[in-house]
Amino acid sequence: MSDQHKDWQELASQLRVDSIRCTTAAGSGHPTSSLSAADLMAVLMSKYLRFDWGDPRQPNNDRLIFSKGHACPLLYAMFKAVGAISDEELLMLRKPGSRLEGHPNPRVLPLVDVATGSLGQGLPIGVGMALNAKYLDKLPYRVWVLLGDSEMAEGSIWEAFDKAQFYKLHNLVAILDMNRLGQRGPTDLGWDGGTYAHRAQAFGWHAIEIDGHDLTAIDQAFAEATSSGERPTLLVARTIKGRGVPEVENKEGWHGKAFDDELAKKAIAELGGVRSIQVKTLKPEPAIAAPRAKPRPFEPKVYHVGDEEATRKAYGDALVALGSHIPEMIVLDAEVSNSTHADEFKKAYPDRFFEMFIAEQQMLGATVGLAVLGKVVFASTFAAFLTRAYDQIRMAAVTGASIRLCGSHAGSSIGEDGPSQMGLEDIAMMRAVFGSTIFYPCDANQTAKLVALMAKRDGISYIRSTRGKTPVIYEPAETFEVGGSKVVRRSDRDQATIAAAGITLHEAIKAHDCLAKKGIAVRVLDLYSVKPIDGDTLRRAASETGGRLVVVEDHWPEGGLGDAVLEVFAGDGGSHPRVVKLAVSSMPGSAPPEVSLKIAGIDADHIVEAVRSLL
């Protein structure tokens, strides 16, 4: 055995020992899932991974993603081996206040890029990072993704396989830790590495089958993966769950279970005891990211009051204006860019637009991968279809990524396409995301200003756009802010308040005019910032208009604008306003937009009835 192989063997044993030590100290965790991949990671970190541990955000560092995030004890053991964390910190795994949480979390541990643990997301994120290297920054770094065999059942993984080959991401290497056992027993393919390899090859990948504990084979496979031409590579590594500890090797019932003190002591002794090997990884090649154009002032397209334009078209126009203002801005779409109008950006900046086709989970994964590497990313599709990628949005919030989403074709107002295309739950969905911002514009000038706010906003931001054209009611110079609203109709005689946003604001204005003819004065609020919502203006309006409030929205009653308004008053002491919620309460069908609004009970006539019922 060569000295290098002895070093790898010792390092792999240290990684196994430390994975056991920290999980036993925590009393929980996934030691057996960590033990199976230790040999793979020992070779990777000591010979192939190029990373400056003193500068984890160095642009040309390789990126390493543990898609099987539950194996993070192994990742943390690697951090100890390179001196990035101390042994004392390693043993703080899963303890309150520790940076080493039960799954990797960059909010507390900057050594990792993204939060993982919800399986099936690491490879789609890796695709985004590899896109950044090849097409945007034009840097030679590689993206390494450690996959578990259980998550190979996730559709998002195969969306990533497809898009990685479409974009010929030769700089992406997926390492499949095929240890046969999932959480409750065997995986669907077990140790059938040939099928995994054939599936990858069918997607156009280069596939290599190896014994995941044969250090020579691992070394040769990594060398082959780094010279695979224009294809991404999958290493199918047959491994044994619990490798190195005979009492648990390849045995069911040990997933997610820490060893007790007695078993840990015995296992550590069998593995040769505690070590303190320090590894020097390769430094990244000196390289500079491709230069960007100089930013220009933001000059949004101007729309004139009284004209009509769809907010979805204004979204596309705003992207184009921002593209010259923010050179690091990137746009993705899910094969509906001619409807979301993200294609306007594609026409203007084709090198900064990525088509994800009908693969919403991959689109969101790539969005996160690009965002954590410093890009200002917008992604769009129909509001209804973002529900497919809700877990990716949720995990983006865990990561702390700043991403900007647009859901077009919102609500029943899209008309004849029918309910399968109608986003009727998107506000509720996005309101539930930690730290999210939600905008719902009613006209084109407002849309342009809100999209610009999104570009500078940290966290998850979402804008809801409308299919049909709506009248422009705001002057181009009008300003808007996060958490703001606009009082679009008011008098000193107002007897009730109508609160709306987007398409229903125009119905509210019609209702105001109708009521005015009957001698009934009402106030109309544009709640364009759904989250955070302008509670002060709402409270003042309710107080000044007799405590009568009608909220109207093109959304299901649950979790939308109406509930956001109710929450404003829920914590207030004293008397609350009488609130009538108008929302889509029955399943819509195909009908012209104005008929759809009427059937849903959210048109001007129904708003008039609601106001009169309060009076």
d(Cα 211, Cα 238) in Å, to the nearest integer? 5
Residue 232 has pLDDT above 80, yes or no: yes
Mean pLDDT of 396-404: 98
Q: Give the bridge partners for 581, in sequence order.
A: 551
* Neighbour count for residue 566 (Cβ, 10 Å): 15
Closest-CA residue to 144 (of 238, 74, 235, 230): 235
Kindly calculate the radius of gyration of the chain based on its CA atoms and give it in whole angstroms. 27
**What is the rounded CA–CA span in Å between residue 201 and residue 191?**
18
298-310 mean pLDDT: 97
Helix (H), strand (E) at residue 212 = none
Alpha-carbon distance of 520 to 511, in angstroms, equals 10
324-347 pLDDT, tens digit each: 999 999 999 999 999 999 999 999
The percentage of residues in the chain with a pLDDT greater than 90, rounded to a whole number, is 97
CB atoms within 10 A of CB 460: 23
Instruction: Decide if pLDDT at 478 tops 70.
Output: yes
Cα separation, 171 vs 60, in Å, equals 12
Q: Check residue 571 and give its pLDDT.
A: 74
Using alpha carbons, select from 66, 74, 69 the residue that is nearest to residue 39: 74
Average pLDDT, the chain: 97
pLDDT at 451: 98
Tokens of 336: 């509906």
pLDDT at 228: 79
**Tokens for 439?**
């905008």
Phi, then psi, of 11 in degrees rounded to 5: -65, -45
Average of pLDDT values for 267-281? Answer: 97
**Token digits of residue 384:** 């209804």
Task: Tell me how crowded residue 55 is: count the other CB atoms within 10 A of its CB.
Answer: 11
Q: Is 360 known to be catalytic?
A: yes
Structure tokens of 153?
């059942």
Write the burial class of residue 152 (CB in 10 Å: 0-12 exposed, 13-18 middle, 19+ buried): buried
Residue 538 identity: L
Can you list the domains of the chain with their CATH numbers? 3-98+107-270 (3.40.50.970), 308-471 (3.40.50.970), 486-614 (3.40.50.920)
* For range 190-214, the mean pLDDT: 98
Task: Name which of 20, 14, 15 is nearest 263 in CA terms.
Answer: 20
Contact predicate 444/474, CB 8 Å: no
Q: Which residues contact 442 (CB under 8 A, 6 or more apart)?
A: 311, 470, 473, 501, 502, 503, 505, 506, 526, 528
Confidence tier at 574 by pLDDT (50, 70, 90): low
Mean pLDDT, residues 500-508: 98
Contact status, residue 448 vs residue 316, Cβ threshold 8 Å:
no
Q: DSSP state, 258?
A: P
Model pLDDT for residues 30-76, shown as the tens digit of each residue? 999 999 999 999 999 999 999 999 999 999 999 999 999 999 999 99
Q: Strand, helix or coil at 175?
A: strand
Please give the DSSP secondary-structure letter assigned to residue 41.
Answer: H
The stretch 82-111 carries a mean pLDDT of 98
Residue burial 294-312, b: 16+ Cβ < 10 Å; e: rest: eeeeeebbebeeeeebbbb
Distance CA 321, CA 80 (A): 47
* Site of tokens 């184009």: 320
pLDDT tens per residue across span 151-181: 999 999 999 999 999 999 999 999 999 999 9
Task: Read off the tokens for 310.
Answer: 């769809």
Contact 322, 472 (CB under 8 A): no
Nearest-angstrom CA–CA distance, 213 and 9: 10
Give the active site residue among 151, 154, 355, 360: 360
State if pTM tops 0.85: yes
- Rounded Cα–Cα distance for residues 523 and 186 (Å): 63
- pLDDT on residue 279: 97
Residue whose structure tokens are 């430094």: 283
Contact by Cβ (8 Å): 597, 554: yes
Element (DSSP H or E) covering residue 431 = helix 426-431
Q: What does the longest C-alpha to C-alpha distance in the chain come to? A: 95
Full 3-state SS string of 297-361: CCCCCCCCCCCEEEHHHHHHHHHHHHHHHCCCEEEEECCCHHHHCCHHHHHHCHHHEEECCCCHH
- Give per-residue burial for 544-553: e unless 16+ CB within 10 Å, then b: ebebbbbbbb
